[in-house]
Amino acid sequence: MDIMSETSAAALSLVVDEIVEAARGVDPAELDAVADAIAGAERVFVLGQGRSGIALKAFAMRLMHLGLETHVVGETTSPAVREGDALVVASGSGTTETVVRGARKAAELGVTVIAITAEADSPLSQTAHVVLRVRAAVKTDHGSAASQQYAGSLFEQTVLLVGDAVFQALWQRSGTAAEDLWPRHANLE
């Protein structure tokens, strides 16, 4: 194995090990609370910036596959939120201005706000009805013991995993066969 292969293998091992540790640190009761809030919503909206937003878009896609009416805030076809909806937001620091502002506005409109964050005492956490805490470094926490990865990478990776776990739980609860979800999968690829 050459030096580049060894470096790449070590990097992959680091990323996998950190993800496993962060995922094991997620409180199962918080995962259940997220799934319950989504199951009880008329429609689901997601809002995040950067890589956290990308992870939430992947989550929105899976919820759509499950048959839930799901929208990404900021997309041109996203409708107005209303009472009875749920808004899933993600921000490692819990201070991302557009995310906090959107969460506050949604809460004022009677929308259930579900926050995924690393900071339990953040403005986002204080606004949310349901908080799922991810124990990971935030993007401004350089050199943290929480992660050796760059910026908020571990947080963003865990947001993706949490979304898949919530989808999996909702899918199992529904008892729906995979074949019944498949017709909702994109077919213009």
| Cα 63 from Cα 114, distance rounded (Å) | 15
DSSP for 26-44, please give it.
Answer: S-HHHHHHHHHHHHT-SSE
If you ran DSSP here, which 8-state letter would residue 111 be given? Answer: P
CB 128 within 8 A of CB 188: no
Is 156 known to be catalytic? yes
3-state secondary structure of 141: coil
Which residue is catalytic, options 75, 83, 97, 156? 156
Residues 147, 89, 133: CA angle, nearest 5 degrees: 45
3-state secondary structure of 116: strand
Residues 63, 27, 155: CA angle, nearest 5 degrees: 65
Token pair for 25: 């640190």
Token pair for 26: 């997620």
Sequence-distant (6+) residues with CB within 8 A of 75 are: none
Known catalytic residues are 156
